[in-house]
A and B are shown apart, each in its own frame.
Chain A
Amino acid sequence: MIVGIDVGSRTAKAAYLEDGEYSFEVVGSAEWRSLLRGRRRAEAATGYFRKHVPAELRVTEITTAVHGARRLLGEEVEVIVDIGGQDTKVIDVRGNGFRMNDKCSAGTGAFLELIEFGVEVEELGELHRRASRAPEINSTCSVFAQSEVVSRLVEGYSVEEVVRGVHLAFARRIAQMVPEGAERVAAIGGAAKNRGVVEALEEVLGAEVLVPEEPQVVNAVGAVEYYLRRKGGC
């Protein structure tokens, strides 16, 4: 079995490759040790806290995102949007570059957590779809956006409409980092489970946004794929 572990700011994820099949596990960041399942070390570690994980090799989550997205979505992925808990990375696979937003929570998972009414992520997509209009959310700061959300509700917008407005504001923020003309964009990370965010990104970018079945574990898969590549195993 080959184990790839990704320890991020909110959650720790593991990908286990055995007999050519992947299985996954997701726990809170502080519980990352349980992902080793009694082994002394993983084959590969990635994520913000990768240096704490005993592993044969460590690699940044930017490189693993490329390998993971290609494994799960195909070689044709041009741009990867990795929406993490505390930062968002946009990786231009075609152009061999990347950009990060890590100074401010706007455009990261933390922005959505702050604003989205404590609703489960799966429900947010439904709310987004039900809204036929969306208010402008102009604040680029999560804290100010929070008060703007309250203002819109007071003005008479419904929760669904405000959720849609938040998703569009979020998508516009991320779109600033996406290279122009990208057609095959992949969204990964926990926030990509929110269909409302994905649809807002598609609307703002004017491009199809691909999301793997388990967007949260792409970097853990990428860690395994990177390991195999380095070891000449595939």
Chain B
Amino acid sequence: MQPQDGVTVAEHPEALELRAESVGERWHSGAAGVSVRRMERIGITALVPPEVVYACGCSALDLNNLVPESRLVPGDKLCAWSAVWRELVLRREVEIDGLVVVAGGDCYTSLVDAQRIELAGVRAHHFIYPFSGDRRFMREQVEALAEFLGEPEEGVMDEVAELKAMAMQVHRMRARGEVGSEQGFRIEVSASDLMGSPERYREALAALEEAEVSWEHRIALLGVPPIYSDFHALLQEMGMQVVFDEMPYEFIRHTGRSMAEVARSYAGYTFALHIRRRLEFLRKQLRRHRVEAAVHFHQYACHHRLEDPLLRGLCEELGIPYLSVEADLPGRTPEQVRLRLEAFAERLSEGWA
């Protein structure tokens, strides 16, 4: 996928506005009449290394990032995350040139929903995480991903790694209260696809304003990111600053400046590993971030719900109050969930025992 005679033109329109050409139409006429190539837009789910996607000359679109703001109600669903992005793609409300779906280390609903997209004519690749954390297997997967996407240029990986280091800096600022919960979360969660281009992500980082955030409690958000678009803002309003966002933290902590480094780092993606490894990791992080309380966010019909007692047990062991929140469709946080959060904040402030 090296540019030929023409100029490589990166398109950066807003996600839902883009109407890309169909698969295979990589070449079209530029403004000056020269033959130019547009970046292929690759839809990704869960954690697919954006280092590799951009190094191969493509642009990444994390389909999950479109879900919280969507008001689409899918008719045929288990988990709303994958059902909503499936419908967005099938109804061509968002257009992608290819799809990379995580087939191991994620969930079967996204795997099936991605296959429905694939059968509708979108070329797809299955990216598989090793349950054992085997780095050699991970290396093979990263190489297979590159083969699907094109020829990687390692210089691009340096840029992505540098951006992730900056995002990690934002994470630390959020933990110190120099960045709000909501803004910090946006930066961390957007590291999965770099907002469609490294340039745009760099701009978002540069635009981030330091603030003096007042809070009463340091909170960890465990599990999948909230499907409610106002969740972090709401927590902040209630005096709870999220200092550790489990899944978005995975997005920023894994990176690499070469295929080998990427493979080594992503082999430690905790959601794909045995739950024992994830619990060990969380034990360290909850202590390191001096977390006072934890909220476990999970989805209706999601297998992660079954991890709830294990996470609760970990928090009990660490003496950290724990709240479990189950969600279904995207939108604003429903009143019943707000009630839980408010009561949790009251309990943290006063205690009942």
* CB <8 Å contact, B340 and A63: no
* CB <8 Å contact, B339 and A48: yes
* CB <8 Å contact, A96 and B352: yes
Identify which of A97-105, A119-127, A132-140, A168-176 touches chain B. A97-105
* CB <8 Å contact, B347 and A102: no
- Partner of B335 from the list A48, A62, A99 (CB cut-off 8 Å) is A48
State how many residues of chain A have any CB contact under 8 Å with chain B: 19
Tally of A-B residue pairs with Cβ under 8 A?
Answer: 43
- B322 contacts chain A at the CB level, 8 A cutoff: yes
- Partner of A97 from the list B322, B326, B335 (CB cut-off 8 Å) is B322
- B275 contacts chain A at the CB level, 8 A cutoff: no
Chain A minimum-CB-distance residue to B345: A60
State how many residues of chain B have any CB contact under 8 Å with chain A: 17
* CB <8 Å contact, A63 and B346: yes
* CB <8 Å contact, A60 and B346: yes
- A59 contacts chain B at the CB level, 8 A cutoff: yes
- B321 contacts chain A at the CB level, 8 A cutoff: yes
List residues 28-48 of chain A with CB under 8 A from any CB of chain B: 48
Chain A minimum-CB-distance residue to B300: A103
> 0/1 per residue, B303-336, Cβ < 8 Å to A?
0000000000000000001111010000000011
- Partner of A96 from the list B324, B339, B347 (CB cut-off 8 Å) is B347
* CB <8 Å contact, A96 and B336: no
* CB <8 Å contact, A60 and B342: yes
- Partner of A63 from the list B323, B326, B347 (CB cut-off 8 Å) is B347
* CB <8 Å contact, B321 and A62: no
**Contacts of B340 on A, CB cut-off 8 Å?**
98, 100
* CB <8 Å contact, A63 and B339: no
**How far does the alpha carbon of A48 sit from the alpha carbon of B334 in the complex, in Å?**
12
- B350 contacts chain A at the CB level, 8 A cutoff: yes
**How far does the alpha carbon of A91 sit from the alpha carbon of B352 in the complex, in Å?**
10
* CB <8 Å contact, B321 and A60: no
Task: Among A66, A87, A91, find the residue whose CB has the most chain B CB atoms closer than 10 A.
Answer: A66
- A93 contacts chain B at the CB level, 8 A cutoff: yes
**How far does the alpha carbon of A62 sit from the alpha carbon of B352 in the complex, in Å?**
10
**Contacts of A95 on B, CB cut-off 8 Å?**
353
**Contacts of A100 on B, CB cut-off 8 Å?**
336, 339-340
List residues 60-84 of chain A with CB under 8 A from any CB of chain B: 60-63, 66
- B343 contacts chain A at the CB level, 8 A cutoff: yes
- B13 contacts chain A at the CB level, 8 A cutoff: no
- B351 contacts chain A at the CB level, 8 A cutoff: yes
* CB <8 Å contact, B343 and A62: yes
**Contacts of A63 on B, CB cut-off 8 Å?**
343, 346-347, 350, 352
**How far does the alpha carbon of A63 sit from the alpha carbon of B353 in the complex, in Å?**
12
Task: Among A61, A62, A93, find the residue whose CB has the most chain B CB atoms closer than 10 A.
Answer: A62
* CB <8 Å contact, A62 and B346: yes
Which 5 A-B pairs rank lowest in CB-CB distance, beginning with the nearest? A62-B343, A60-B343, A102-B336, A63-B346, A66-B352
Q: What are 5 contact pairs spanning A and B, CB under 8 A?
A: A48-B335, A63-B346, A96-B347, A97-B321, A99-B324
